[in-house]
Amino acid sequence: MEQTQQPTKKKRTHRQFMEMMQGYGFLLPAGVIAAIFFIYATVFAIYMSFNNVSMMTNTYNWNNFKNYANLLTDPTVRTALENTLGFVVIVVPCQTIIALVVAYVLSSRGVKFKGLFRLVYFLPTLTSSAALTLIFMFLFNINGPINQALMGMGLYHTPINFLNEPFWSMKVIVAMNIWSTVPFYMTIYLASLVDLPYSLYEAAMIDGASAWERLRYITVPYLRPVTTYVLLTGIIGTFQMFDQAYIFSGGTGGPSNSTLTIALLIYQYATTGLGSGVGYAAAIAVLLGVIIFIVSRLAEKLNGGLGS
């Protein structure tokens, strides 16, 4: 019987070994940064969430699940969570849908001044979040242009205190976030629509498909992977919304906790010594991370299911 000859494993040459080491060398800085600021920070935050932490004396007193038990009975955490969830539920779908529709319109043939429109729409993305917050606070001030316009059109006889009324305060932040994030996601959609063959639209138009049907049956399915990315980044960003609420309320989450978000509450507990201090803030941060992971996975599965 003939013996089957085992394939010989090629020895790695010195050149291949050096190229491999060079690749690892390029990856090393990013690996070190990830290990310190992501892996170590996450593990340490989880450890702190089981302790009463004093940063002044650098002491850690193990308290088992006390911090997590307090989360269930803390009305401030419940309020912040409700505000954050309401913010996410409104902002993420609106910014995704509006960005998709605007990108679809700007990518259509026959639209004049496309470059100008793209530039104008993208301008908010170039402005810092802090500056945008101050601009919107000026616009919605009790004596600002929005109130002047509403009273000038006869819709209201007295100005609305958008910044200090709980009913309106979060709505202003919602409007600001939608307006400022749509251009970024519109650009992502536009970059993807460049590769979409226009012949698909032409074939659909020959068959009598309307603009809405072309958007629904051609554009939306083609952009499903991009939409998944937009949804995931939108969910993560909105759940972590901090700077706008902080500037808008001066760090208090007011008026009447109407602009208090989970991220702002973590900051308050970690820096002001409220509750159990840093350990309690770490527990809230862990809770926020778990919620973001669950909601992101659900959104990813839902988008995949709708596109199938």
pLDDT along the chain (308 residues), means of 10: 53 81 91 90 92 80 89 92 95 94 82 74 81 91 91 88 92 93 91 85 87 87 91 94 92 91 92 74 93 91 67
Q: Is residue 212 located within the same domain as residue 238?
A: yes
* Residue ranges making up the domain that contains 186: 69-307
The CATH number for 166's domain is 1.10.3720.10
Task: Enter the pTM of the model.
Answer: 0.85
How many domains does the chain contain in total? 2
Residue 24 domain-assigned? Answer: yes
Say if 103 falls within a structural domain: yes
Same domain, 54 and 103: no
Residue 262 inside a domain? The answer is yes
Same domain, 78 and 95: yes
Is 82 in the same domain as 225? yes
CA 122 vs. chain centroid, Å, equals 18
User: Cβ contacts of residue 302 below 8 Å, gap of 6+?
Assistant: none
**Same-domain check for residues 75 and 35:** no
State whether 53 and 196 are in the same domain: no
Give pLDDT, residue 4.
Answer: 55
Token couple for 295: 């909601």
Domain annotation covers residue 94 = yes
Q: Is 300 in the same domain as 261?
A: yes
User: How far is Cα 48 from Cα 61, in angstroms, rounded to an integer?
Assistant: 9
Are 55 and 90 contained in the same domain? no
Q: Tell me, yes or no, whether 150 and 184 share the same domain.
A: yes
* Residue-level pLDDT at 108: 77
Domain assignment of residue 6, yes or no: no
pLDDT at 202: 85
In a domain, 113, yes or no: yes
Q: 54 with 77, same domain?
A: no
| Rounded distance between C-alpha atoms, residue 86 and residue 94, angstroms | 13
The reply to whether 9 falls in a domain is no
Q: Both 173 and 286 in a single domain?
A: yes
Q: Which of 62, 83, 98 is the last residue of a domain?
A: 62
Position 146 scores a pLDDT of: 92
User: Residue 221 domain-assigned?
Assistant: yes
114 and 254 in one domain? Answer: yes
> Which residues touch 84 (CB under 8 Å, ≥6 apart)?
238, 239, 241, 261, 262, 263
